[in-house]
Amino acid sequence: MTSIEDWRTDRQQSVAQTQGDLALIGLHTIADPMQIEGIPGWWAPNMENGSGLTLRAAASEQITVDGQVVDGIVTLDIDYSIVRFSETLTAVATAQPGSNHLLAVYDTNAVAMNTYEGISYFPFDSEWVIQAEFIKDDNHRTMAFTHNSDSDGNVRHHQSPGDITFIKEGVSYRLTPFTSGNVLIIVFGDVTNGKESYGMGRMLLVEPEDNGLVTLDFNKSFLPPCAFSYHFNCPLPPAHHRLPFEVTAGEMQVIFRS
């Protein structure tokens, strides 16, 4: 198993990559064919597949997709095709519940990239490695989440395969993970938010075992992408995920040079 030191090193490095969280400078909804200020090309929703984007450009614009110069129309695979405009500026087609046609734009010269110093952490504490139970639901249900950049009252429905229950100091708590690709994510809040830790809450990856057990290692709870760039539209902890105690484990804050 990856040590906590290795996990922390991987996290600190991953957010500072070319298309890491710190580099995001724009997240654009592409509802109709359009141009985007500051980047070349014409962008349109890929209606044939119901998700993704198409890009139309001339060779003279020197846009590449996966290393090949675009001259005409190309289809961008979600979270796979890498669009490059310059040495520092790139983009990728992406999606989230309720938004199937998004363009994420990244710049390695972003202010956050140039002022990033690291992430602060609570000390490792084995008491925050908690054994829990995963209660699977096979009815393809969804869980409603509000997101930080959406209008008040709007919710997005994430796929959720079940609930996780655990006991803390004799009290039972229920958490509902959502599916993101091949992983399950819990977004939670606790009493440290806005003080020692990031105000909007944190996240935790979980991997239920075949026997219905799951380990909640809060030492690996991490900051949501919106802690690194306000352009992200992050899900917020629902009411039953706002834990009424301090979770003094995991990531605390992003450290930037003043």
pLDDT tens per residue across span 106-155: 999 999 999 999 999 999 999 999 999 999 887 778 888 899 888 777 88
Q: What share of the chain is helix, strand, coil (3-state, %, to 5)?
A: 15, 45, 40
Task: Say if residue 197's pLDDT is above 80.
Answer: yes
Give the Cα separation of 215 and 14 in Å (integer). 24
Q: Model's pTM, two decimal places?
A: 0.91
pLDDT score at 2: 62
Q: Other CB atoms closer than 10 Å to residue 207's CB: what's the count?
A: 10
Q: What are phi and psi of 189, to 5 degrees?
A: -120, 160
In whole angstroms, what is the distance from residue 33 CA to residue 73 CA?
Answer: 12
H or E stretch at 142: strand 142-145
pLDDT in tens, 169-180: 999 999 999 988
Q: What is the mean pLDDT of residues 63-76?
A: 97
Indicate the SS3 state at residue 113. helix
